[in-house]
Amino acid sequence: MNDTHRLLLAHRSIRKFTTDPVTDDQVRDIVACGQAAATSSNIQAVTVIRVRDGAKRARLAELAGNQPYVASAGAFLVFCADLNRARLAAEAQGGTFCEGMTEHFILATVDVALAAQNCVVAAEAMGLGICYIGALRNNPQAVSELLDLPRLVYPVFGLCLGHPAQDPEVKPRLPQAAMLGEDTYPAEGMLERIREYDAELHEYYARRGGGTKDSNWSLEMKGVVGKEARPHMRAFLAERGFTMK
C-alpha cells in the first residue's frame, strides 16, 4: 500500500462544493492525465466538453434530473464517445467509415471510461472531489443538441469537479469473494456473500442517514435491474450513427 493506493481507496462522490474555482491549469492537467490512459488501437475515442456557460450548466443540471451541483461545481465536464474524429481522419486519407458496428460502440465507450477514471484520479490527487453524472443519459438527445455534438458522438456521462464542502464516509463494496474468481466465475457461495454485504450496507445506511435509510444492496438492485432503464437509449444511439450491427 502506498499513497496512490490510499488515494484510490478513499474515493467517495462529492455533491457539495465550495465556491473556490477549479483553474484552467487544473483542467488542462486533469484532461492530460485522462488522455494518458490506454486506448484501443490508439483510437482515442474520447472528447471532453468543459461547460462554462451558466445557462448551459443550468440546463444540464435540469436535464440530469435537477442535480444542482451540475451547475454549481467548480468545473463540469461532459465525456463523449467520439468516432467522428476517427471518421474525419480516415476520410481525409481516402478511407471510409464502416458505420454501426457494436464493437466500435464498445471500444469508444470503454475508451471514454478509462480516460475519465484517470481524470478522476488526477483530480482527487489535487484534493478535488468529483461526482459522475450518468443522468446525462436521461435525455441524451437534448444534451447532444446543447453541445452541438455531431453524428458518431454521444455523451456517456458528466463529471463534476470542485473543492469538497462535505466529507462523506467511503461506501463499503462487495466482498472480494463475490466479484473475484480464480480460473472460473465465482458462482459458489455468491448468494451468501451478497447477504453478508447486504448486512454491511444496511448498517452503513443506518449510520450515515441517522437511521432514516432502511435499505441494502439486494433491495437496491431490485430497483435498478427490475424495471426498464432509459428505454430511449437504443433509438437515440441509432439516430446518432451507433446502430449496433
Could you say whether residue 165 binds its own copies (CB under 8 A)?
A: no
**DSSP strands (E only) in 37-93:** 46-50, 75-82
CB 84 within 8 A of CB 153: yes
Contact map string, positions 194 to 233, toward its own copies, x by CB under 8 A: x---x------------------xxxxxx-xxxxxxxx-x
Distance CA 200, CA 21 (A): 37
Counted residue by residue, the chain has a size of: 245
Contact map string, positions 63 to 82, toward its own copies, x by CB under 8 A: -----------------x-x
- Residue number with CB closer to its own copies (167 or 228): 228
Q: Count residues contacting its own copies (CB under 8 A)?
A: 118
Could you say whether residue 128 binds its own copies (CB under 8 A)?
A: no
Distance CA 98, CA 243 (A): 11
Taking the CA atoms of 179, 182, 186 and 188 in sequence, report the sign of the dihedral they define.
Answer: negative
- Residue number with CB closer to its own copies (101 or 165): 101
Quick one: which segment of 67-75, 132-140, 161-169, 206-214 binds its own copies (CB under 8 A)? 132-140
Distance CA 191, CA 174 (A): 12
Could you say whether residue 120 binds its own copies (CB under 8 A)?
A: yes
Distances (CA, A) of 146 to 139, 176, 227: 11, 41, 29
Quick one: which segment of 15-23, 67-75, 124-132, 160-168 binds its own copies (CB under 8 A)? 124-132
Quick one: cell of 242? Answer: 451507433
- Residue number with CB closer to its own copies (3 or 167): 3
Quick one: which segment of 15-23, 62-70, 92-100, 206-214 binds its own copies (CB under 8 A)? 92-100
